Structure 1
Amino acid sequence: MNGFHARSLTRPTPLRGSNGVAFGPDGRLYVAQFLAGEISAVDLATGDVEVVVPAGGPVQAPDDLAFGADGSMYLTDLVPGRVWRRQPDTTFTLVTDQVRLPNGIACVGDRLFVNEMVPGGRLLELGEAEPKVLTGGLAMGNAMQLGPDGALYYPHMLTGEVFRIPPDGGTPELVAADVHEPVAVRFDLGGVLHVLSRGAAGIVTRIDLFSTGDRELVTSGLSGLDNAAFDPENRMFVSSFAAGGITELHPDGRTREITPRGFAGPYGVTVDFGGTVHVADHYRVAEPRDGDVATTELLTFTHGIAADGDLLHLTSQYGQVRTYDRATRAVRTRADGLDQPLGIAVDADDALVVAEAGAGRVLAIDADDEISVLTSGLGRPVDVAADDEGHWYVSDEAHGTVYRLDDGTPIPVAVDLDAPQGIAVSDGRLYVAETGTGRLITLDLATGETTATDLPAGPPSFRDLPALKAHGIPGVPRPFAGLAAAPGQSLYLTAEGTILHLTPAEHP
Structure 2
Amino acid sequence: MFKNTWFCLAICFVFLTAIFVGCSDDDDADDKKIAEVLVQGSAINGANGVIFDSQDQLHIASVIGRSITVMDRETGEIIDVLGTDTGVDCPDDLIFAPDGTLYWTSFLTGEVGRLDTDGTVKKQFVGPGVNPITISDDGRLFAALDFLGDGLYELDPNLEEAPRLIIQQLGFLNAFDFGPDGLLYGPIWTQKHVVRIDVDAEQPTVEVVADGFELCSAVKFNSQGELHVADQKAGSVYRVDVNTGEKTLVGSGLHKTDNLAFDSSDRLFVSSADDGYIGEVLSDGTGKTVYAGGMVFFGGITYQSNSLFVADLFNLREVDPQTGEELSVATSYLGVPGITTSMTVASDGENMIVTSWFARAVQVWNHSDTQVVEQYFDFGIPLNAIRFQEDLIVVDLITTSLIRADGQNPEVRTTIADLTLPVGMAADEHNLWVSDWGTGEIFQVIQADSVLTDPLVLASNLLNPEGMTLGSDGELFVVEVGADRVVSIDLESGAITPVVEELDLGSEAVPGMPSSWIFNDITLSPDGTLYVTGDRGKVLYKIK
> Residues 99-498 of structure 1 correspond to what in structure 2 (within 5 A)?
99=127, 101-109=129-137, 110-117=139-146, 120-124=150-154, 126-127=156-157, 129-166=161-198, 168-169=200-201, 171-199=205-233, 201-209=234-242, 213-216=246-249, 218-220=251-253, 222-223=255-256, 225-250=257-282, 252=284, 254-272=286-304, 274-288=305-319, 291=324, 295-298=329-332, 299-318=339-358, 319-349=360-390, 351-365=391-405, 366-373=407-414, 375-387=416-428, 389-404=429-444, 405-406=446-447, 407-409=450-452, 410-428=455-473, 429-445=475-491, 450-467=496-513, 478-495=517-534, 496-498=537-539
Alpha-carbon distance in structure 1 between the residues aligned to 2:290 and 2:300: 28
Q: Which residue of 2 aligns with 1:36?
A: 65
Which residue type is aligned with residue 51 of structure 2? A
State the Cα deviation string for residues 114-158 of structure 1 (Å, max 9, x = none).
223256522535456554555444211111112244432111111
Once residues 501 and 521 of structure 2 are traced to their aligned partners in structure 1, the CA distance between those partners, rounded to angstroms, is 14
Q: Which moved more, 1:322-331 or 1:286-295?
A: 286-295
Deviation per residue, 1:35-92 (Å, 9 max, x gap): 2221121112232224442125544322111011111111122233332221111111
Q: CA deviation at 1:395?
A: 1.2
Quick check: 172-181 or 324-333, which moved more?
Answer: 324-333
**Separation in structure 1 between the aligned mates of residue 435 and residue 357 of structure 2, nearest angstrom:** 17
- 2:317 counterpart letter in structure 1: A
CA deviations on 1:134-191 (whole Å, 9 max, x unpaired) are 5444211111112244432111111111112345445443111222211101234454
Q: Which moved more, 1:109-118 or 1:21-30?
A: 109-118
Please tell me the residue identity of whatever aligns with 1:68: A
2:207 counterpart letter in structure 1 = E
SS at match of 2:84: coil
Give, in angstroms, the shift of residue 383 of structure 1: 1.2
Contact kept? 2:459, 2:494, Cα under 8 Å: no
Cross-structure match for 1:506: none
Q: Deviations over 1:315-367 (max 9, x none)?
A: 12243211122243332554333343223322343x32233344332233314
Query: Any idea what SS the aligned residue of 1:256 has?
Result: strand
Amino acid paired to 1:314: V
SS of match in other structure, 1:60: coil
Question: Is the alpha carbon distance of 1:278 and 1:250 closer, same or farther for their aligned partners in structure 2, counting shifts above 3 Å?
Answer: farther
Which residue is 1:92 aligned to? 121
C-alpha distance in 1 between matches for 2:495 and 2:132: 56
CA offsets 1:231-281 (integer angstroms, 9 cap, x no match): 234332211222123222335553333223122221111111x21111112
Q: Tell me: CA distance 1:332–1:124, structure 2 relative to 1, closer, same or farther (3 Å).
A: farther
Q: Runs of 5+ in structure 1 lacking a partner?
A: 469-475, 504-508
Deviations 1:408-431 (CA, angstroms, capped at 9, x unpaired): 222222222121111000213210
1:421 aligns to what SS in structure 2?
strand
For the Cα contact (< 8 Å) 1:270–1:306, is it kept in 2? yes
Pick which of 167-176 and 395-404 moved more: 167-176
Q: 2:78 aligns with which of 49, 52, 55?
A: 49
Give the deviation of 1:209 after TM superposition: 4.0
Once residues 465 and 263 of structure 2 are traced to their aligned partners in structure 1, the CA distance between those partners, rounded to angstroms, is 47
Partner Cα distance (2:456, 2:166) in 1? 60
- The C-alpha deviation readout for 1:441-495, integer Å capped at 9, x for no partner, is 1134367654203334333415242246xxxxxxx98222111111111111110
Distance, in Å, in 2 between the alignment partners of 1:41 and 1:339 is 38
- Partners of 2:37 and 2:377 lie apart in 1 by 34
Distance 1:111 1:442, change over 3 A: same
* CA distance in 2: counterparts of 1:192 and 1:20, whole angstroms: 19
Moved more, 424-433 or 282-291: 282-291
Q: Distance in 2 between matches of 1:357 and 1:133?
A: 33
Evaluate the alpha carbon distance shift between residue 21 and residue 167 of structure 1 in structure 2; reply closer, same or farther with a 3 A threshold: same
Query: How far apart are the structure 2 equivalents of 1:339 and 1:393?
Result: 21
1:114–1:425 Cα change, 3 Å? same
Q: 1:72 to 1:442 in 2, by over 3 A?
A: same
Given that residues 180 and 203 in structure 1 are in contact (C-alpha distance below 8 angstroms), is that contact kept between their aligned partners in structure 2?
A: no
The one-letter code sitting in structure 2 at the alignment partner of 1:454 is V
Structure-1 separation of matches of 2:61 and 2:242:
29
C-alpha distance 23-300 of structure 1, shift in aligned 2 (>3 A) = farther
- Judge which range, 394-403 or 190-199, deviates more: 190-199
User: In structure 2, do the counterparts of structure 1 residues 180 and 390 end up closer, same or farther at CA, with 3 Å as the change threshold?
Assistant: same
Is 1:502 the counterpart of 2:536? The answer is: no
Residue identity in the other structure for 1:347: F
- Structure 2 residues not aligned, in runs of 5+: 1-21, 24-31, 333-338
CA spacing shift, 1:419–1:461, aligned 2, 3 Å? same
2:379–2:394 Cα contact (<8 Å) kept: no
- Return the alpha-carbon distance in structure 2 between the equivalents of residues 435 and 152 of structure 1: 46
Per-residue CA deviation, residues 286-310 of structure 1 (Å, 9 max, x unaligned), is 2346656553221443212112344
Matched length: 490
One-letter identity of the residue aligned with 1:437: A
TM-score normalised per structure 2: 0.82
SS in 2 for 1:436: helix
TM value normalised by structure 1: 0.87
For residues 513 and 46 of structure 2, the distance between their equivalents in structure 1, rounded to whole angstroms, comes to: 20
